[in-house]
Chains A and B, each alone.
Chain A
Amino acid sequence: MSLLEVKGLKKYYATQKAVDDISFAIEPGTIFGLLGPNGAGKTTLLRMITGIFYPDEGQIIFDGKKFDPENDVVHIGYMPEERGLYKKMKIGEQALYLARLKGLGKEDALEKIKQWFVKFEMQSWWNKKVEDLSKGMGQKLQFVTTVLHEPKLIILDEPFSGLDPVNSNLIKEEIYQLAKRGCTIIFSTHRMEQVEEICDQIILVNKGQKILDGTVNGVKQQYKDNLFHIGLQQVPQTIQSNYFEVIKQENNVLEVKIKEGATTNNVLQHFIQEGVGVTEFHEILPTLNDIFIKVVGNTPLARQFETVQQ
């Protein structure tokens, strides 16, 4: 059973279809990447899932039941992209306040905060104010306050922005741990290499509509161009075949595109018959970055305003 299921979600503003009929489902324990260019409607979508906005149309099913913001927000942790903390408040008190707003009791909250502070080596911060923290430190604190109440669903909007590699890894490790313990994580970002590394499942949103949905590998398979690298001991003078064409040659390595209807074995056979030794042979899968640019790139960069017929 899915932890979160979204069916035909719509939210129209006066000048934009911010979210236009989006459906997807997330299984428990998955790390789910929500991708899309700026202004694609990601934030609106996330705000509907966190119960901040009501959808105009469509259904959100959370943990098997119809999503009820009043009670279900306790099971959701949301970390917005920009650091959202009270500058003048002491860090310990702030963490306690945000935890209690999520419905945790005082003792319970204190204990959990202490655990996390020890884990992230933040004990000495307790009486400091947020304005004394660097951006990365603030991001760490924000992460702690997001996951403190052990939500079933954690929504992270660009969680690594402003973090150095060490702290980045620390949080990445925590995300894996949380997923292993059964937390579901929605991860919204533009940074494709992070998505490839972390996410199990992705959807790509553009202009308020879902244009891609699947596992990282599945999506790559879907968008592959049948390109292969072939390393040869010696490159023959002329390569002529009905099964493939050479796109690029770099020293002894060829990049070939297999034609429609042909298989990889046809290619190998060709070289074997020619008596050329093959040193390597592997498929070139597109990176998510390539796919993103391919899918989104031909649409105008800035989203145009339009009149919405409601």
Chain B
Amino acid sequence: MSKIWLIIKREYLTRVRNKTFILSTFLTPLLFAGIIAIVVFITVKNSDKEKIAVIDNSGVFKEKVDSSKSVRFVLNPSVDTSNYVAQGYTAVLYSPNNQINKTPRWQLYSKKNFGVMVKDKINDKINKETENDLLLSMYNINSKAIDSVRQLASTVKIDDIIMEEGSKLSKGNSGVAYAVGYGAAFLIYITLFIYGSMVMRGVMEEKTNRIAEVVVSSVKPYQLMMGKIIGIGAVGLTQFFMWIILISALSSAVGAFIPHDLLQQVNEANKSLPGGNIGMQGNEALIGLAKAQNELSSVNWWLVTGCFIFYFLFGYLFYAALFAAVGSAVNEDPQDAQSLMFPITMPIVLAIVIMINAITHPESALATWSSMVPFFSPIVMMARIPFGVPGTVPYWQLALSMLSLIGGFLFTTWLSAKIYRTAILMYGKKVTWKEMWKWAFRKN
């Protein structure tokens, strides 16, 4: 036991002290935060770009033309299609029609092609102005009244109420569950590959270095293999905990500064403009962000985090043993590793395919049963859990899935240990899956 501990310690320390580990641990959350910041920054900055002159012969556009931040409309300026650029406009929106014939044919003069977003905005604007104009002329309803009605109607929202046992009600949110499930499943998928192949490379290194021969003359091959798997697993957990700490520190830092100022700005901006919730494209993202923060609290984070750690750990152990077996069978040629790895990577990829289907139908038969199979459960079950336990995933399913994963891990470890024991000392011969199978199931 103390020997396996020594091996774990070596595997752990040599990796944790590695520069790449330290860099990736600290830079990944910063990178994420940076990307989010850049996206927000660009959306905010990118708005207020287009200034469009409106020459309206039809009289649809009313005297006061409200504008969104990204597209500004200026009614009846003293420009025409020949000099608008010099006056600082990006385009001229021109209606050749007169008062009587209001049927739509507008012309947009510009030097460039507008993006879809801007095009939509302009289109929406014309539609809305036409609608207002028609309502006014045909039913004598003024635009202010219409706006306030619209605003009222737009406040209607759906609250998902999930009935839990004992008639306890909880607020559900399938959008957030979808996002969290997707994220968690993908994170497990990526980490299975990263840490699984780390185990494989470690084993290959020991074999090609012939250090394995020295070490197995002091410890059992099984201890060497398990020590490596556990050591690298601990590295993975360390990285996760560091990330969780860093991300929560970062997000609370962000929460303390940005939303306060910005959200206030957003609110003020909304108030100061008529038809408030139409404009302000850039800030919509921020409003969404604030909303998302609220909605995120509808997820049971303790459960999701707990399950995530469980499924990461045992999913990793399940696959790491197989990766170790493959690593032990590889000779100097890394090409061998590719072909031997294929049968292991296939179920992981298949799990992702199932997950993408399962996340839209978390209660389908495919989702339910594949989350019981240890090959897929770490990824598929992780996608279902945020939808609610025991609402979407009953307790028995969760328990069965966990038990079968633990059982699967014990089985793959037993299997791999037998392959590993033979293969780690086998040099110069290309090992096939058939041979590995034979080693795994022979008696001694």
Contacts and interface: CB of A to CB of B under 8 A. Distances in A.
Interface of A: 47, 50-52, 54, 73, 76, 78-80, 82-89, 97-98, 100-103, 142, 145
Contacts of B213: 52, 78, 80, 84
Contacts of A142: 214
B217 A73 contact: yes
Contact of B217 (A50, A86, A97): A50
Interface string B139-161: 00000000000000000000000
B214 A84 contact: yes
Nearest to B18: A88
Contacts of A98: 214-215, 218
Given A54-B444, A89-B14, A102 B218 contact: yes
B425 interface: yes
B10 A84 contact: no
Nearest to A46: B217
Nearest to A155: B217
Q: Which 10 A-B pairs have the closest CB atoms?
A: A84-B210, A78-B217, A101-B218, A84-B211, A84-B214, A50-B217, A82-B210, A80-B213, A102-B218, A52-B216
Contacts of A101: 3, 6-7, 215, 218-219
B103 interface: no
Contacts of A84: 209-214
Given A47-B425, A101-B6, A52 B210 contact: no
By secondary structure, the A interface counts as loop
Interface string B422-435: 00010000000000
A52 B218 CA distance: 9
Q: How large is the interface on B (under 10, 10 to 19, 20 to 34, 35 or more residues)?
A: 20 to 34
Nearest to B435: A14
Nearest to A90: B14
Nearest to A54: B444
B423 to A, nearest CB: 13
Interface centre among B212, B214, B219 (most CB of A within 10 A): B214
Interface centre among B210, B217, B218 (most CB of A within 10 A): B217
Nearest to B218: A101
Interface centre among B213, B221, B425 (most CB of A within 10 A): B213
Contacts of A87: 205, 209
A80 B427 CA distance: 13
Given A82-B210, A84-B210, 6 more contacts: A78-B213, A84-B213, A85-B209, A86-B209, A98-B218, A101-B3
A83 B211 CA distance: 8
23 contacts: A47-B425, A52-B221, A52-B425, A73-B218, A78-B214, A80-B214, A84-B209, A84-B212, A84-B214, A85-B209, A86-B14, A86-B209, A87-B205, A88-B14, A98-B214, A101-B6, A101-B7, A101-B215, A101-B218, A101-B219, A103-B218, A142-B214, A145-B214
Contact of A97 (B10, B209, B210, B425): B10
Interface centre among A83, A98, A101 (most CB of B within 10 A): A101
A70 to B, nearest CB: 8
Interface in B1-17: 3, 6-7, 10, 14
Contacts of A97: 6, 10
Nearest to A145: B214
B213 to A, nearest CB: 5
Nearest to B438: A14
B427 to A, nearest CB: 9
A51 B217 contact: yes
B217 A52 contact: yes
Interface centre among A52, A83, A85, A145 (most CB of B within 10 A): A52
Contacts of A89: 10, 14
A89 B209 CA distance: 12
A97 B433 CA distance: 34
A51 B221 CA distance: 11
A97 B206 CA distance: 15
Contacts of A50: 217
Nearest to A52: B216
Nearest to A87: B209
A142 B444 CA distance: 32
Interface centre among B10, B218, B219 (most CB of A within 10 A): B218
A302 to B, nearest CB: 13
A47 B123 CA distance: 81
A82 B215 CA distance: 13
A225 B273 CA distance: 116
Nearest to A79: B214
B329 to A, nearest CB: 16
Contacts of A73: 217-218
B50 to A, nearest CB: 57
B418 to A, nearest CB: 13
Interface in B203-260: 205-206, 209-219, 221
Nearest to B9: A97
Contact of B210 (A51, A83, A145): A83
Interface in B344-395: none
Contacts of B206: 86
A151 to B, nearest CB: 10
A98 B218 CA distance: 8
A80 B210 CA distance: 8
Contacts of A80: 210, 213-214
A49 B287 CA distance: 73
A142 B6 CA distance: 19
Nearest to A56: B444
A103 B2 CA distance: 9
Nearest to B427: A82
Contacts of A102: 218
A89 B10 CA distance: 10
B212 to A, nearest CB: 7
Contacts of B215: 98, 101
Contacts of B7: 101
Contacts of A100: 6
A47 B421 CA distance: 13
A47 B427 CA distance: 14
A60 B205 CA distance: 32
Contacts of B217: 50-52, 73, 76, 78
B417 to A, nearest CB: 14
B74 to A, nearest CB: 67
B310 to A, nearest CB: 32
Contacts of B211: 84-86
A84 B339 CA distance: 27
Contacts of B3: 101, 103
Nearest to A146: B214
Nearest to A142: B214
